Amino acid sequence: MARVSGAVRVLIVDDDPLVRAGLSLMLDGANGIAVVAEAADGDEVPAAVDAHAPHVVLMDLRMPRVDGLTATRRLRGRAGPPEVVVLTTFDTDENVLLALRAGASGFLLKDTPPQQIVDAVLRVAAGEPMLSPTITRRLMERVATEAGSYERARAALSGLSPRERDVVLAVARGRTNAEIAAELLMSVGTVKAHITHILTKLNLGNRTQIALLAHDAGLA
């Protein structure tokens, strides 16, 4: 997805009308964010995206007809998809992994403080993933134990140049583009170019999936 200029356009997807209303009220009043549409189920997402062109989708997991995981996978299969932040009450390890591997750029709980939700929307719109700290710790423990993941990840990363591997490691540590540039003594534009090349080489959808692969490979 191209980086956002102007207000970040947000689509809220949740089957609870009170949750949608609360999120809309909170986000639409935040500087730099505009809530452009709401949807009550995952099956409404494609039409809402076509009609309103959001930059970020706040996605619930549990919905009656099409769940958030399925809706996220369908979005990632489209050209130029919006970024997805999963916002849910269910934080099991399996849900986190499935959401991130489906292409979500962030995973937050519904009891996350409002400012952190606002920050997450702005961060993923800028191309940087967002996970709550507790989820990050548990995720790292989980991916390290998945059978076969280490060998597959090492094989996938073997085709990268040493500089690209440095960038992968920095992404896995949660560094922003500016922090990576300062750490590796390169421009922010060069960092962005490296990340684009890495995504293409590894056939991945976003930075979060780069981080997952790095942790699978034991690099971080």
Q: pLDDT tens-digit profile of 73-90?
A: 999 878 788 999 988 886
One-letter amino acid for residue 74 of the chain? R
Q: What is the pLDDT of residue 209?
A: 82
Compute the distance between CA of residue 150 and CA of residue 34 in angstroms, rounded to an integer. 41
Q: Most distant CA pair in the chain: distance in Å?
A: 49
Q: What is the pLDDT of residue 1?
A: 44
Residue 13, classified by CB atoms within 10 Å of its CB into exposed (0-12), middle (13-18) or buried (19+), is buried
Q: 198: which residues sit within 8 A by CB, 6+ positions away?
A: 160, 164, 167, 168, 204, 210
Provide the 10 A C-beta neighbour count for residue 20. 19
Q: How many CA atoms lie within 13 A of 80 on its CB side?
A: 8
Tell me 2's DSSP state.
Answer: P
- Please give the sequence-ordered ranges of beta strands (E in DSSP) within 25-174, or none if there are none: 33-39, 56-59, 83-88, 106-109, 130-131
* Structure-token pair, residue 124: 């993923």
Low-confidence ranges of the chain (pLDDT < 50): 1-2
Domains of the chain: 8-140 (3.40.50.2300), 148-216 (1.10.10.10)
Q: What is the pLDDT of residue 134?
A: 59
Helix (H, G, I), strand (E, B) or coil at 126: coil
Question: 64 — phi, psi (to 5°)?
Answer: -70, -35
CB 43 within 8 A of CB 64: no
- Which helix (H) or strand (E) segment holds residue 125: the answer is helix 114-125
Q: What is the pLDDT of residue 81?
A: 87
Provide the whole-model pTM.
Answer: 0.70
C-alpha torsion sign, points 45, 47, 48, 54: positive
Provide the 10 A C-beta neighbour count for residue 191. 23
